[in-house]
Amino acid sequence: MAADYGARQASTLNVLIVEDDDDSREMLAELVSMLGCRALRAGDAAQALRHARESAPDLALVDIGLPEVDGYEVARRLRAQPGGKDVRLIALTGYSDLSVREEALAAGFDDFVVKPVLPEALESLLRAERKRRAGGTPQP
């Protein structure tokens, strides 16, 4: 992994990590930080929506399998908040079947990543988001 390059490319990004599993959330936050981004952590929907309002993340990694309010609903609610349409939403799930992907995209996610998230995949997501925000590529 080219961590120095990734850190330079993604240095200005605020990344919201929404994951109910403490170890997974901390691992992702550590990787995000190593890649030069600011990691915001949320363990449930209420924390995620509060962070989104208060911190205006550039990108959010949202676990679909959250308890009580699932990730699909978090995406819908986040999109409805002021500034919510500007956040790049990435669905995180342990399932890779097409129906889960289609439901995630219909809920407002921009992309879909199967867990566990590989460091190289995360670096690629951050690099692509930085490039998109700099005007290099349009958001799909």
Query: Sorting pLDDT into bands at 50, 70 and 90, what band is 6?
Result: very low
Cβ-Cβ contacts under 8 Å for 68 (sequence gap 6 or more): 44, 45
Phi, psi of 91 (to 5 degrees): -80, 135
Smallest CA-to-CA distance from 110 within 122, 120, 98, 101 is with 101
Q: What is the per-residue pLDDT across 54-108, written as a single tens digit (0 to 9) for each?
A: 999 999 999 999 999 999 999 999 999 999 999 999 999 988 888 888 999 999 9
Do residues 14 and 56 touch, judged by C-beta distance below 8 A?
Answer: yes
How many whole angstroms separate alpha carbon 18 and alpha carbon 24? Answer: 10
From residue 24, alpha-carbon distances to 20, 94, 117, 137 in Å are 8, 12, 9, 30
Smallest CA-to-CA distance from 126 within 17, 21, 51 is with 17
**Structural domains of the chain in order of their starting residue, each with its CATH number:** 3-133 (3.40.50.2300)
Q: What is the per-residue pLDDT across 7-49, written as a single tens digit (0 to 9) for each?
A: 444 347 999 999 999 999 999 999 999 999 999 999 999 999 9
